[in-house]
Amino acid sequence: MAPIDPKLLDFANHKGDATAEDIQTLCETVLQYGFNSAFVNPTHVKLARSLVGIKAKVGTVISFPLGQDTLESKKCAVKEAIENGADELDIVPDNATLKEGKPEIFEKECIDLTVYARSLRESIVVKFIIETGLFLPEHFLLLNTPEIGLGRTQIVNASRAIEHSGADFIKICSGMGKRGVSVDDVTFIRTIVKPSMKIKGAGGIHTKQQVLALLEAGANRFGTSNAPSIIDEG
């Protein structure tokens, strides 16, 4: 198997009991392996920034993992994260608005947050998370039922909304939902958005083989707590 470029991986620790010592270990490992970023919870952004300096990026999550904070709460979190030194934001929009048949509300939220984040720092990398497990099973491309059809429509609406918002990435799954990213997810979303729209996969990525399969399907980046072992597979 071909080697994996460490820059494709965001090494993440989003555990609820992550300590400062855990984040120090995470950041040391990011620098050792050359991963794209250290991805941490908002409370640890400033610490991670101080540890990696300019040698790696720092990422954090906003309204994670549910996405049902108010827009103003999300804006406050975006502002604080940027002020504390975050380079990349993985934001959870309100996926429930898609299930309610209100994709225009979903899109407006994505647009508002992208515009706001870029007004604070033009170079900030913005990703919005579609929790695909809320809409479709892991393997769905060959399934045809009314429920699958509705789920596909909701994913189409979400993908187009995120692309229209001007965000940098569609992120598939939080890693805290019903399931993680699947090859079917990436394959399907690739048919919806332009080639220039980047896709990040997360949730349940444990092996090099998984990364290669998702790359082949069209993903560009991966968030995982297993980044070192994936690279160590050789």
Predicted confidence at residue 2, as pLDDT, reads 80
Contacts of 151 (CB under 8 A, 6+ apart): 135, 136, 140
CB 130 within 8 A of CB 97: no
- 194 catalytic? Reply is no
Give the bridge partners for 202, in sequence order: 223
Predicted confidence at residue 220, as pLDDT, reads 98
Residues in the chain where the model's pLDDT stays below 50: none
Q: Which of 10, 57, 87, 90 is catalytic?
A: 90
What 3-state DSSP class applies to 89?
A: strand
Predicted confidence at residue 234, as pLDDT, reads 74
Predicted confidence at residue 20, as pLDDT, reads 98
Q: Where are the domains of the chain?
A: 64-232
Q: Cα torsion for 8, 223, 109, 112, to the nearest 10°?
A: -40
- 200 catalytic? Reply is yes
Q: Which of 57, 74, 127, 200 is catalytic?
A: 200
- 127 catalytic? Reply is no
The fourth-level CATH superfamily of domain 64-232 is: Aldolase class I (3.20.20.70)
Q: Which of 74, 127, 171, 208 is catalytic?
A: 171
- Which two three-digit tokens encode residue 34? 């050359």
Question: pLDDT tens-digit profile of 54-113?
Answer: 999 999 999 999 999 999 999 999 999 999 999 999 999 999 999 999 999 999 999 999
